[in-house]
Structure 1
Amino acid sequence: MTGPLITAAELAALDTAVTLLDVRWRLGGPPGLDLYREGHLPGALHCDLDRDLAAPAGDGGRHPLPEAAAFQAAMRRLGVRDGRPVVVYDDTGAMAAARAWWTLRYFGHQDVRVLDGGLQAWTAAGLPVTKEVPGAAEGDFTARPGGMPVLTADEAAALAADGVLLDARAGERYRGEAEPIDPVAGHVPGAVSAPTTDNVGPDGRFLDPAALRARFAALGVGEGVRAGAYCGSGVTAAHEVLAMELAGLPAALYAGSWSHWVTDPDRPVATGADRWGAAQ
């Protein structure tokens, strides 16, 4: 496998062992485990975003990065091995699977792929699903933090001023017109509105690299431009980082994101249009 994506046909044709993780998740439910039990890819185990890919909510935000020891234990429980490829999927255009991809990469796994189009692409190809829960031999994955660039709140603020900081949330949340989750509405001053949903087509598959490069160029991100992304809690922003990697554009993740930013009342909040005057 090459690149961060794998198609349903490529996954079905693999003749090497992979660890397959079902990362379906809904903000506010239903629980991803319930969806998994209704049917999943053969051989897949359920990876719980809240429990396995994040530390408990608190001062670090709603989905802060897990400690290395906790993440390592979770991945070993799911059978993740250092020398075996991992494929992750969901059913929401990789919005949750991208968090698994990014977190595994951050903690040092070298071979992680996202199933492009997710469960829908798999079933559309006529491939089977099952309710059978496989057993998983204990993995040997060793978590080594630092494999992907991250931003602190101060670094995110600086990047918004001298680079490009993309806000991956819906436009109305960026503008401060609606905030259904966090206690304060608005965005990091200087950030650019870049809803994650624009990274994929109607079928939930990522746009091709050329289209993604054009999208990010229109947002001010190109070769040699320092870029980063944030969202509400560091989940869909990982999708933005994945899309930028597909476009050949490295980017850092502000993992705490808006839910962390607003824990400090001294941090400034902006509302309305972005820094170029576009009310996206």
Structure 2
Amino acid sequence: MSDDPKTLVSTDWLANHLKDPDLRVLDASWYLPDAGRDARAEYHAAHVPGARFFDIDEISDARSDLPHMAPPVEKFMSRMRRMGVGDGHQIVVYDGAGLLSAPRVWWLFKLMGHRDVAVLDGGFPKWQAEGRPTEDLAPVVKDRHLTVRYQNQLVRDVTQVSQASKLGTTQIVDARAAARFRGDAPEPREGLRAGHIPGARNVPFNTLLNTDQTMKSPDQLRTVFEGAGVDLSAPVITSCGSGITAAILGLALERIGHDRWSLYDGSWAEWGMFPTVPVATGDA
């Protein structure tokens, strides 16, 4: 793969830069409750040397009833200061599934205006499989200021998505599994209707990944999107169950040079709960 410190870097790249003074590595592991995994406990057992743990559920908007919504700017800044992550840092984010939740944190940094951030391709499983170094002690951190320049265009709310669905001017692309998209499988969160946003296309996030959880090549990614009926000349809103895997779609779009995309933060956790917005079932 071609390393790009603004989107995706290889384990080789990270190994070569691990001692860079301005590198900050973040473990952004996150799992659905039924996965039976404890991300923080796994971090304390073993992580990439120097990595800090980024708690997606805690570094979120506590005022919202929806899961892990993007945090207010002030909260993000204070948490990053405490983690010693700030201006002038090249950030690399990884997760323990390979490539699942790290892109969400990549998107969060982009949302806050920090561009020098990349996802580790293949994540911690690939790093460990290659016999690379790990440690079990959290690093000593020094406060660092992070300047935020909030990028409104990277996030969408239910009103904006509803309008896009009605007008059809922006493609909505859903990262959930096909059975959930069609409405054939129940949602993992209680109280949600089954189906998808009218007019949405379905690109299950795992169709963008290789078997080792690395991301497919840009040409392959383009083929997957086009095969799902996504118009890559139009702007895109990505969606999923709760705003996590939607960011994988965003990362893939960025890899193929499509930068007119935004993420529906509430995703199906919000849309499926709202009684006033329509739901479609079956294929797109």
After TM superposition, the score normalised by the length of structure 1 is 0.91
Report whether the alignment pairs 1:173 with 2:173. Answer: no
Query: Structure 1 vs Structure 2: percent identity of aligned residues?
Result: 36
Matches of 2:223 and 2:52, distance apart in 1: 36
Cα offsets for 1:10-63 (capped at 9, x unmatched):
1111152211111111111533111101111110111111012x213745x222
Structure 1: gaps (5+ residues): 275-280
Name the CA distance, whole Å, in 1 between partners of 2:139 and 2:199: 48
Distance 1:182 1:234, change over 3 A: farther
1:196 aligns with 2:199: no
Residue identity opposite 2:243 in structure 1: G
Amino acid corresponding to residue 16 of structure 1 in structure 2: D
Partner secondary structure for residue 189 of structure 2 = coil
Quote the Cα distance in structure 2 between the aligned partners of 1:63 and 1:174.
21
CA change 1:24–1:205 in 2 (3 A) is same
Q: Indicate the residue corresponding to 1:99 in structure 2.
A: 104
Q: Which of 214, 219, 240 lines up with 1:231 in the alignment? A: 240
CA distance in 2, matches of 1:91, 1:159: 34
The equivalent position to 1:7 in structure 2, one of 6, 10, 16, is 10
The structure-2 alpha-carbon separation of the partners of 1:27 and 1:72, relative to structure 1 and needing over 3 Å to count, comes to: same
Deviation at 1:148, TM superposition (A): 5.1
Q: Which runs of 5+ in 2 are unaligned?
A: none
Q: Which residue is equivalent to 1:56? A: 62
Deviations 1:70-98 (A, max 9, x none): 11111111111111111110022321100
Once residues 2 and 148 of structure 1 are traced to their aligned partners in structure 2, the CA distance between those partners, rounded to angstroms, is: 22
Deviates more, 1:184-193 or 1:101-110: 184-193
Equivalent of 1:16 in 9, 15, 20? 20
2:25 aligned counterpart, secondary structure = strand
Matched, 1:34 2:37: no
8 Å contact kept, 1:108–1:145: yes
The 3-state SS of whatever aligns with 1:253 is strand
Deviation of 1:124 (Å): 2.4
SS in 2 for 1:50: coil
Residue 242 of structure 1, aligned match among 237, 251, 267: 251
Q: Kindly report the root-mean-square deviation, in angstroms, between the aligned alpha carbons of the 2 structures.
A: 1.7
